[in-house]
């Protein structure tokens, strides 16, 4: 944990400032310590350089069990990724939204809401004039993200729940969330928190799954088939499911990605775009995508109007919408304080 992160962290319960007791530090990096709320005395550990701003979930509630299961499943996937120090941005999810929504260059204090293993977090932290805080719930994602951005002075990782963000009101100059909110059992709560911590008029960019009601019969059928299979795969142990997805990846590559490339080369673009899993780069390159598709216990999907309403109801004004097998939305915080 970089010491300047303390300037922005707040108690997620009462939003008061936090005091820091350092157990172990390396130069300006706090490796282990304890954060204590100056108002309610709640305590949050700093371990392996990451503030752990979550209390143990009450597993008695359906929402809590879903959150724990989601974190465990995605966390396992993040532990399978290879992390190497990066010194230049690489094309990733935020870049898609930036192009599609014609977003201005990102700057200021930025929130990556659901940073996963930290690829986008690293990309944005390398931009001049940015300080980026990535929030992630899963242990695996937090560990990999922290490892990935350790050498970047403007990147920070916090383990926290998007439905209870450990930040003050109207704090961030820019917020983005790619492919996360539709895996939360209460998206309005998470979007409400995003709106709360965003400054008035500050940009927000979000990606949400599409429900495919206006898509081709082939895609609608594929979604129904996948959802039927998900009733089994979401109950499988993470290790077993990941192994199955790795075994299935070459088959999906041959039946989806290669036909897509051939149809594109032949000029049949419209037909090619109807094929799912068309973006594989090599036979085993779809393992993560398959796992992402079949592991999440919660998967919500939206019409365009439903996606816009999710943001608008939280006090975010939607200014632009694009589609790429899901809804990319550019918005900004409306004036006034959101409570």
**In the chain, what are the domain boundaries?**
1-53, 54-210+304-333, 217-295
pLDDT digit string (tens) for 7-38?
999 999 999 999 999 999 998 899 999 999 99
pLDDT digit string (tens) for 221-231?
888 888 899 99
Q: How far is the C-alpha of 104 from the C-alpha of 56, rounded, in Å?
A: 39
Listed range (126-130, 137-141, 215-219, 326-330) with the worst mean pLDDT:
215-219
Tell me which residue of 147, 161, 116, 107 sits closest to 134, measured CA to CA: 116
Q: Are 184 and 162 in contact (CB under 8 A)?
A: yes
Q: Are 123 and 90 in contact (CB under 8 A)?
A: yes
Q: Are 100 and 324 in contact (CB under 8 A)?
A: yes
| CB-based contacts of 203, cutoff 8 Å, min separation 6 | 103, 104, 174, 175, 330, 331, 332
Q: Which two tokens stand for residue 191?
A: 């979007």
Q: Is the confidence at residue 98, as pLDDT, over 80? A: yes
Give the torsion through C-alpha atoms of 95, 97, 102, 106, to 10 deg: -60
Query: Helix, strand, or coil here: 19?
Result: strand
Give the torsion through C-alpha atoms of 69, 71, 72, 75, to 10 deg: 160
Q: Which two tokens stand for residue 129?
A: 């004039």
Q: Is the confidence at residue 270, as pLDDT, over 90? A: no
Q: Is the confidence at residue 178, as pLDDT, over 90? A: yes
Q: How far is the C-alpha of 222 from the C-alpha of 150, rounded, in Å?
A: 40
Rg from Cα positions in the chain: 20
| CB-based contacts of 56, cutoff 8 Å, min separation 6 | none
Q: Which two tokens stand for residue 176?
A: 């983005």
Q: Which two tokens stand for residue 329?
A: 């939305």
Q: What is the pLDDT of residue 60?
A: 55
Q: Is the confidence at residue 110, as pLDDT, over 70? A: yes
Q: Residue 339: pLDDT band by 50, 70, 90 thresholds?
A: very low
Cα 43-68-206 angle, rounded to 5 deg? 95
Q: What is the pLDDT of residue 291?
A: 94
CA distances for 287 relative to 207, 251, 267, 282, angstroms: 21, 11, 28, 10
Query: Helix, strand, or coil here: 197?
Result: helix
Q: Residue 74: pLDDT band by 50, 70, 90 thresholds?
A: very high
Beta bridge pairs of residue 9: 167
Q: Are 30 and 20 in contact (CB under 8 A)?
A: yes
Instruction: Match 């709560």 to its residue by tokens.
Output: 189
CA distances for 175 relative to 61, 134, 153, 330, angstroms: 29, 10, 19, 10
Q: What share of the chain is helix, strand, coil (3-state, %, to 5)?
A: 40, 25, 40
pLDDT digit string (tens) for 131-166?
999 999 999 999 999 999 998 999 999 999 999 999
Q: Residue 280: pLDDT band by 50, 70, 90 thresholds?
A: confident
Tell me which residue of 286, 276, 67, 333 sits closest to 180, measured CA to CA: 67
CATH of 54-210+304-333, one of 3.30.750.24, 3.90.950.10, 3.40.50.150, 3.10.20.70: 3.40.50.150
Q: Which residue has the higher pLDDT, 74 or 214?
A: 74
Q: Is the confidence at residue 62, as pLDDT, over 70? A: no
Q: Which residue has the higher pLDDT, 191 or 83?
A: 191
Q: Is the confidence at residue 265, as pLDDT, over 70? A: yes
Q: Is the confidence at residue 58, as pLDDT, over 80? A: no
Mean pLDDT rounded to a whole number for the chain: 91
């Amino acid at each position: 944990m970089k010491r300047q992160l303390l300037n922005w962290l707040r108690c997620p319960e009462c939003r008061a400032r936090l005091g820091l007791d350092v157990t172990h530090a390396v130069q300006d990096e706090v490796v282990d310590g304890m954060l204590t709320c100056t108002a309610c005395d709640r305590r949050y550990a700093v371990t392996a350089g990451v503030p752990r701003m979550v209390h143990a979930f009450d597993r008695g509630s359906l929402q809590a069990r879903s959150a724990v299961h989601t974190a465990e499943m995605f966390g396992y996937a993040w532990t399978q990724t290879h992390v190497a120090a990066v010194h230049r941005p690489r094309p990733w999810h935020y870049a898609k939204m930036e192009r599609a929504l014609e977003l201005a260059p990102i700057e200021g204090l930025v929130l990556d809401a659901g940073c996963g293993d930290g690829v986008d977090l690293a990309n944005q932290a390398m931009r001049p004039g940015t300080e980026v805080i990535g929030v992630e719930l899963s242990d695996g994602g937090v560990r990999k993200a922290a490892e990935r951005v350790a050498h970047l002075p403007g990147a920070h990782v916090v383990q926290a729940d998007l439905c209870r963000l450990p930040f003050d009101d109207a704090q961030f100059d820019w917020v983005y969330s790619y492919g996360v909110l539709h895996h939360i059992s209460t998206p309005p709560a998470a979007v409400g928190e995003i709106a709360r911590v965003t400054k008035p008029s500050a940009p927000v960019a979000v990606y949400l799954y599409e429900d495919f009601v206006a898509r081709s019969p082939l895609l609608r059928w594929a979604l129904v088939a996948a959802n039927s299979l998900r009733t089994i795969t979401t109950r499988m142990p993470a290790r077993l499911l990941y192994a199955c997805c790795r075994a299935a990846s070459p088959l999906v590559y041959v039946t989806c990605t290669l036909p897509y490339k051939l149809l594109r080369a032949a000029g049949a673009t419209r037909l090619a775009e109807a094929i799912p899993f068309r973006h594989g780069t090599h036979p085993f390159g779809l393992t993560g995508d398959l796992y992402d598709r079949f592991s999440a216990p919660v998967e919500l999907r939206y019409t365009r109007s439903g996606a816009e309403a999710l943001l608008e109801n939280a006090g975010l004004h939607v200014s632009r919408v694009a589609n790429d097998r899901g809804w990319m939305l550019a918005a900004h915080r409306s004036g006034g304080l959101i409570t």
